[in-house]
Amino acid sequence: MANIGFIGTGIMGMPMAANLQKAGHQLFLSEHHGKAPAELISTGAVALATPQRVAREAEFIIVMVPDTPQVEDVLFGAEGVAAGLSPDNVVIDMSSISPTATKAFAAKINESGAHYLDAPVSGGEVGARAGSLSIMVGGQPRVFERALPLLQSMGKNITLVGGNGDGQTAKVANQIIVALNIQAVAEALLFAAKNGADPARVRDALMGGFAASRILEVHGERMINGTFDPGFRINLHQKDLNLALAGAKELGINLPNTASTQQVFSTCTALGGGNWDHSALIKGLEHMANFSIREQ
């Protein structure tokens, strides 16, 4: 069993850390931004004051925070992880952040004699709790193999995509696909309901055909029932689409449907829905149509 530093115990990080603990690993948590969760402390995790101190105690340091600036602060800020690393430590960033920044962060860590994996996840809070996340990894194969038992405690579909940054690139691609599918389902259900059809029955019919998808199954039901408590918040999906659009600008390519979906998310945010589940994108379309599929 390994000594693991885990920094970032939010909606996703908390169940991921708990699954590592259940697998028998010793956790070290940083309290630089708040108290460590009592649930983890009561089952053996150790709370320390800073990321630097966490890195000194751990062989592997996992980071699971919201965005690129937070990862940079955890790694390279005052009393950050980098200041506490020993040669051959492994930093595993499981946040969803900029692929370009990831390559720069990895270069700094690798130059120190430690190792870096970018390993963002997909599957939401449900997958985090079930230990069934998809994990997209960028890094050296030998470092990946060393970290694989830890990743298997948190996920099922674990793929070494390529070198540092390629895991984050895969995650951005994933978020493009998920967002566009959410918009497709929302538009279809809005169209059906406005035409007088029962959206629930339309969804049932579509689940038996080529339009069937996990998004239609899970998020289509959320849209029909109006259950928008966050599994994955709109403002976080907006962050990921911003990464996609910024990357597209760097690459000189156009992602028109990604840009369109981002605009609908922005409508939701303007309505006060930044913390709604991303399936609530339909509320942005409903606002523009002045029609709700749940009030027909």
d(CA 265, CA 274) in angstroms, rounded, equals 8
Token digits of residue 255: 């992602």
Task: Look at residues 103, 100, 101, 177 and name the one whose alpha carbon lies nearest to residue 134.
Answer: 177
CB neighbours of 33 closer than 8 A, spacing ≥ 6?
none
Which amino acid, residue 126? Answer: V
Token digits of residue 158: 């674990």
User: Does the annotation mark 249 as catalytic?
Assistant: no
User: Cα 7 to chain center, whole Å?
Assistant: 15
Active-site residue, from 103, 171, 239, 249: 171
Phi, psi of 264 (to 5 degrees): -70, -40
For the chain, how long is the longest CA-to-CA vector? 65
Residues classed as catalytic: 171
